[in-house]
Amino acid sequence: MTLRARLTLGLAIIALVLVVPLVVARQGMSDLHGAVRQLQGREFAASLKLGRLRDGLAEVRQRELALGVVRDSNVNVQLTTAIIRARAFADSLASMTKDTAARGISANLASIAVSAEREFEAIRAGHDSLADTISHRDVVPQLNEADERLPRTERVLREATSNRVHDAELKLERLEAYSVGALFIGVVLAAVISLWLTRSISGPVEALERGMRAVSEGDLDHRLDLSTERRDEFGRLAQSFRAMSRQLIELDKLKAEFVSVASHELKTPINVILGYLQLMQDGIYGPLSSKQTEVLSTVEAQGRTLGRLAAHLLDVTRFEAGGGRIDPRPIDLTAMLGDLERAFHVLAVQRGIDFRVTLQPHLPVEVQWDVDRMNEVMGNLLANAFKFTSEGGTVELIAAPDERGVRIQVRDTGAGIPPAQLPHVFEKFYQADNQRSASASGSGLGLAIAKEIVEAHRGEIHCDSTLGRGTTFTLLMPARVGARRRTGSHRTIEYEVVT
């Protein structure tokens, strides 16, 4: 599945699982709305009917009393109208609630209508005593019985209303539970899908990032943790990355071979030139004037500089191509550092620089290093320190024991290196902006070679510097190292194990 299809599918599923809670809530709200409408259309309407029935019975009682006092036909008409209206309310209430008490009230009102008509006929015939008898014997008891039935009807209606409200509350609770549950499930599913999408994208991206970082740091053989068999964009990127790595390895080999051949081929003509210059200076080809001698000295100095550059180039390419062999042998560490002190003492006197070698207690008496290579490293660091330290400054070499073996520091009070340039000082041909304060120019290869030699000894080299106050190079070296050589892409192959 392609990355685009995966993203589309994931987003569609997330949208779906987030819509489901809304659908559940919408359905629950619809059910709740139906229950409220039933409550409003039945129980509330029945309550209104009950109130009007109560008012109707009271009006019937008032009209019947008025008929006994006024004895007028208009009052009789009003009484009949009140009975008809109250009976309509009772019939409607009975049909809505299916309550027998409401039906009984309707029957009471029907009986009252008949008795009231008889009462009015007796009044019209002038039989007042008969009319009163009908009122007290037939009408009033029916009204009283109807009034007694009203509370029962009210109780039935109240229970029905309570049951309906309870049902609505249960539906509301279920709606809340279903909504929360659906929302929780939706959020969990959305989180799982988001995690799946994130891992399916971030994992390959991180693998590509690690691969690019490894290549940028020189590890051209880095194995990408990403399959080229993937049928998505990352699979195609992995294929492109491997193709790029192969091309870079070939280019690196071609570059190393070219530089190696070029530097090796340069050594012979340079040595021939220097040889003839020496013969001319010795007068083999005749006497030289003072101007010619000066010119030949300048040419010889430049030729020797060119020779050192060719040697450095050859050294660097050997290390990069895997031919940078070191040959560790037991050496007296104190004697080695003493030789360095004596070698640079004359330069310190000439430059007016305070040069000190400090040996801390408990140093290993003997170490197993490649003495020539380590002298090259130490000589390079000390030469740089003297080059960037002006007259009256200080250069110090400090050797101290370390948990890994030996810690050696070369400190100077020279020009220092800008902070932004410190990470690049061990790169080939890199020269910091402090070259203006140097007593001599360099090729930019010395520190790169020193780093290769130190790492071939399984050591570390670091640089700390403060602009205008000086620089400190620190070497952390094991006391014993087996015979070994450096290979390309910063890998090491052991030739011998020293016990």
What token pair was written down for 348?
């310190």
Q: How confident is the model at residue 489 (pLDDT cuts 50, 70, 90)?
A: very low
The amino acid occupying position 457 is: H
The reported pLDDT for the residue numbered 36 is 65
Sheet architecture: strand order including 324-326: 324-326, 484-486, 492-494
Of the given ranges (175-184, 377-386, 387-396, 468-477), which has the lowest mean pLDDT?
175-184
Mean pLDDT confidence for 107-121? 85
- Hey, which bits of 87-140 come out as E strands? none
List all residues 6 or more positions away from 141 whose beta carbon is below 8 Å from its beta carbon: none
What token pair was written down for 187?
């959020």
Query: Is pLDDT at 263 greater than 80 in this prediction?
Result: no
Taking Cα atoms as reference points, which of 426, 429, 471, 474 lies closest to residue 447? Answer: 426
Identify the residue with better confidence: 491 or 200.
200
What percent of the chain has pLDDT above 70?
82
Residue 357 near residue 455 (C-beta atoms within 8 A): no
The reported pLDDT for the residue numbered 474 is 94
The reported pLDDT for the residue numbered 282 is 82
Of 89-103, 176-190, 275-289, 485-499, which one has max mean pLDDT?
Answer: 275-289
Q: How far is CA 56 from CA 99, 111, 133, 147, 474, in A?
A: 18, 15, 23, 11, 110
The reported pLDDT for the residue numbered 246 is 82
Taking Cα atoms as reference points, which of 306, 324, 323 lies closest to residue 262? Answer: 306
The reported pLDDT for the residue numbered 6 is 67
CATH architecture assigned to 233-321: Orthogonal Bundle (1.10)
In 371-478, alpha helices (H): 371-387, 446-456
Taking Cα atoms as reference points, which of 240, 299, 477, 287 lies closest to residue 371? Answer: 477
Provide the pairing of β-strand 394-402 with 354-359. Answer: parallel
Q: Where are the domains of the chain?
A: 3-193, 233-321, 324-494
What token pair was written down for 433?
């902006």
Say if domain 3-193 classifies as CATH 1.20.120. yes
3-class secondary-structure state, position 202: helix
What token pair was written down for 342?
């004596």
Give 386-416 pLDDT, tens digit per residue. Answer: 988 989 999 999 999 998 889 999 999 988 8
Helices first, then strands: H and E counts in the chain:
11, 10
In the predicted model, what is the mean pLDDT of the chain? 78
Mean pLDDT confidence for 465-489? 77
What percent of the chain has pLDDT above 90?
13
Mean pLDDT confidence for 299-324? 67
Q: How confident is the model at residue 261 (pLDDT cuts 50, 70, 90)?
A: low
Tokens 């380590």 correspond to 374
Helix (H) or strand (E) segment spanning residue 238: helix 233-281
Of the given ranges (62-66, 215-219, 234-238, 424-428), which has the lowest mean pLDDT?
215-219
In 39-139, alpha helices (H): 45-70, 73-97, 100-124, 128-134
Mean pLDDT confidence for 111-139? 83
Same fold flag, 3-193 and 233-321:
no
The reported pLDDT for the residue numbered 337 is 92
List all residues 6 or more positions away from 54 whose beta carbon is below 8 Å from its beta carbon: 150
Of 57-71, 260-274, 362-376, 430-444, which one has max mean pLDDT?
Answer: 362-376
The amino acid occupying position 449 is: I
Of 142-146, 197-201, 388-392, which one has max mean pLDDT?
Answer: 388-392
Question: Is the whole-model pTM more than 0.85?
Answer: no
In 432-479, alpha helices (H): 446-456
Say if domain 324-494 classifies as CATH 3.30.565.10. yes
CA distance 143 to 137: 11
Identify the residue with better confidence: 139 or 33.
139
Identify the residue with better confidence: 28 or 247.
247
Identify the residue with better confidence: 25 or 327.
327
Residue 454 near residue 460 (C-beta atoms within 8 A): yes
Give 152-169 pLDDT, tens digit per residue. Answer: 877 877 777 777 777 777
3-class secondary-structure state, position 143: helix
What token pair was written down for 278?
């020496």
CA distance 22 to 29: 10
The amino acid occupying position 367 is: V
Mean pLDDT confidence for 286-294? 84
The reported pLDDT for the residue numbered 499 is 24
Instruction: Count Cβ atoms within 10 A of the Cβ of residue 120 and give its class: 0-12 exposed, 13-18 middle, 19 or more buried.
Output: buried
